[in-house]
Structure 1
């Protein structure tokens, strides 16, 4: 039930709770095919609608476990693509219906190959001279993508790369897509720092794409990527990456033992007992200027329509939100992901998020999802 709540029309909601999104070890992932991802980006570019999309791979996932700001940049994204076969494999083990790897580089290639809609691209980042070279290659093709500008800012601070003059320089080229290549952490931070100042509808950090287009690094063949062996190919192309892949591989082993295997067993038990679980319930009220969202019962992917409506209503206008979880008996990956979007929304607008009442069973479940941070309050900025 949604009580005492006046729906306020908004031209464009900051967060789309209709997304078919799932939690995999602490991050949300949209269940889209490559074609659906391409079509969504083209539609947003055509409509001039902002889409800051992230492409988390295993390195993103591992890094986000220890870096709150980096993790939150993914939670605040408009879309999050599963860029890495390890994520797909873990999703399958956890009985999460995330079937398609949607690599950022492949999404870019799909945009490059299509002929139905012209897109203007601005390359920001990469080694000195490589972005300009990538732009020259793109423009020589005469295809749907045209490079309207390129800038390699070097290794300065985020502040040095975020001056009003530089934002004006980018906006003056009127790009549809600002493609950033600064290293994942710096790239995500730069985008979030400058998101309001940039006018391009599409913005993403796709680090290696500039090198792939310029030809300074050869992209792995699709058969290699499909087998989950792209990391070997990347080490061949960039030997210095072996340290990162070694570190990520060790972290993956720990996640498999501590989270994926126990999570898979928990998912199996949940399937066996689902018929006996209480029906989900939701109540949204406005009390003393804040919104109180009370959830009850067991929430699963097929029963989330009331929750999506309640979250949309709760965030229609900026407000502090209290999330009462005291009557919740179960949350599956899809339900957890929607709460991640709520958490990201509140952090994005600087309003409070106050979870209350989570019991031990729910806390254990969120820990297996690497989403225990959803029980941490966010203060009003």
Structure 2
């Protein structure tokens, strides 16, 4: 199945993020559940983004998601600093709560939820709490698989219980990396349309951990509240803070300065050429000129043909002089599709100046070939 290349996605710190508000995310996830349409929802925060810099498989889980929302104010700050129209934090826990509180249309059924993971007993407690009062959700099952390997947590009987529950929404809580990997490993065998790793949600619903007040969520101070609730998290937030400072100094600030030096008038998007053709057993995507938000529509129309070809994909960048966050994020979707299909991928003719643009966006991994 090809990615939806019509998505409004932008690259922030090397990951693709959808430009969606909380209300739009609620609408898209509810629609997917109602239509039985697969939606792998990822909720990257700063910790995700930093970890993805050195973990290709973790990064790929976000790239291959059907919806990627910015769950962290630092990501929104980076987006604003670099002029991206991703200006609303959409936390996974806020999305879950909004779905829970949504007014049900007449004669419609509540969203059926299955909790998988969390500390011992917490998934059961979350199910009981969710069913304790009428809402837009009801729990139809839970499982606490413990601390085994992904393979041990993926037995046929486990997946059959989830599928047999008739759940519309599978909430996974195994730790970010393990949870994303578990979902990727089992997605082809799962019949639940909406699937997401929402680690803290299980605790919030169960009442074992309290979520931060709205003011803390909106000001980027939720991490202080989380440390109060779960003191063991202090080390993670300390390391994330150091990582963010490094990214600001070596990626974000240089990117902002480069954008100011170039200036919008100096970049000609109307002369860009984007073409897909088959040649001698290869599929060649040619990118010429400046490619980005002003002409992203044209790029999006070219990508399905590039993604559907069975041949090796060569991205010819010999005439490409500028690429922005929107174009990079769309290329990430194509990269993810090639990876999923086991197709070779290579970017050719990348100049030193263009390579620097990829590096400032933390997207230099796109320049590495896929065999």
Is the contact between residue 27 and residue 61 of structure 1 (CA under 8 Å) also seen in structure 2? yes
Residues 27, 74 of structure 1: 8 Å contact kept = yes
Distance in 2, matches of 1:267 and 1:345, equals 30
RMSD: 1.2
Out of 263, 288, 300, which is 1:296 matched to? 288
1:16 aligns with 2:4: yes
Deviations 1:308-340 (A, max 9, x none): 011012223544211111110100110111111
Instruction: Give the structure 1 partner of residue 27 of structure 2.
Output: 39
1:197 matched residue in structure 2: 189
> Contact (CA 8 Å) 1:95, 1:267: kept in 2 or not?
no
Partner of 2:90: 102
Take 1:274 and 1:300, find their aligned partners in 2: how far apart are those partners? 14
Matched, 1:361 2:353: yes
Gaps of 5+ in 1: 1-12
Partners in 1 of 2:270 and 2:261 — Cα distance? 15
Cα distance between partner residues in 1 of 2:147 and 2:134 = 32
Q: Is the 8 A contact 2:316 2:348 kept in 1?
A: yes
For 2:291 and 2:268, locate their aligned partners in 1 and report how far apart those are by CA, in whole Å. 13
Q: Moved runs in structure 1, 4+ residues, more than 6 A?
A: none
Flag structure 2 segments of 5+ consecutive residues without an equivalent. none
Say which of 358, 368, 372 aligns to 2:364: 372
Residue pairs, 1:1-381, within 5 angstroms: 13-116=1-104, 118-276=110-268, 279-379=271-371
Secondary structure, counterpart of 1:74 in structure 2: helix
CA distance in 1, matches of 2:78, 2:346: 30
Take 1:83 and 1:299, find their aligned partners in 2: how far apart are those partners?
A: 27
Conservation of the 8 A alpha-carbon contact between 2:129 and 2:206: yes
User: 1:278, 1:329 within 8 Å by CA — same for their partners in 2?
Assistant: no
CA distance in structure 2 between the partners assigned to 1:37 and 1:60 by the alignment: 19
Deviations 1:345-378 (A, max 9, x none): 1112221112111111110000000100110111
Q: Which moved more, 1:108-117 or 1:315-324?
A: 315-324
Deviations 1:77-108 (A, max 9, x none): 11110000000001111111110101000000
- Separation in 1, partners of 2:332, 2:251: 18
Q: Structure 1 residue 272: deviation in Å?
A: 4.3
Aligned length: 367
- Partners of 2:310 and 2:180 lie apart in 1 by 24
